[in-house]
Amino acid sequence: MNRKLTLLFILIWFGTSAAVLAEEGTSGDYLKNIGTKLGRGLLNVVTSPAEIPCTIGDEMGNHPSTGFFSGLGKGTVFMLRRILVGVTEIGTFMIPMERTIPPVCHEPV
């Protein structure tokens, strides 16, 4: 009886551990994800000044008379936000995660 319970326990353990291990990513996936996050952070920092002309263009399309000044203000805030997100992604690249803001000059996803 004891032998049968032990065998049953081992079979259940192997059956459940295989499913858990199948869900786990490989080291190649991890390295790809941290590389993606590091590159995304660098791209956010480098392309952050492009937020200003993109936002000015969007705002001038909506409000031609006041769009330049509101676009300049919003674009500056968006640029600072993109720099902050980029620096944070560079500093924490070893913890992979999804994109938090859309690429420059794109609508939110």
> Which tops the pLDDT comparison, 15 or 71?
71
Report the C-alpha gap between 91 and 78 in whole angstroms: 20
pLDDT of residue 3: 79
On the question of pLDDT at 32 being above 90, the answer is no
Report the C-alpha gap between 50 and 26 in whole angstroms: 36
Task: Report the predicted TM-score, pTM, of the whole model to 2 decimal places.
Answer: 0.68
pLDDT of residue 36: 87
On the question of pLDDT at 60 being above 70, the answer is yes
Task: List, for residues 65-109, the tens digit of each pLDDT value.
Answer: 888 999 999 999 999 999 999 999 999 888 878 888 888 887 654
pLDDT of residue 105: 81
> Which tops the pLDDT comparison, 17 or 104?
104
pLDDT of residue 16: 60
Contacts of 81 (CB under 8 A, 6+ apart): 101
Report the C-alpha gap between 71 and 109 in whole angstroms: 21
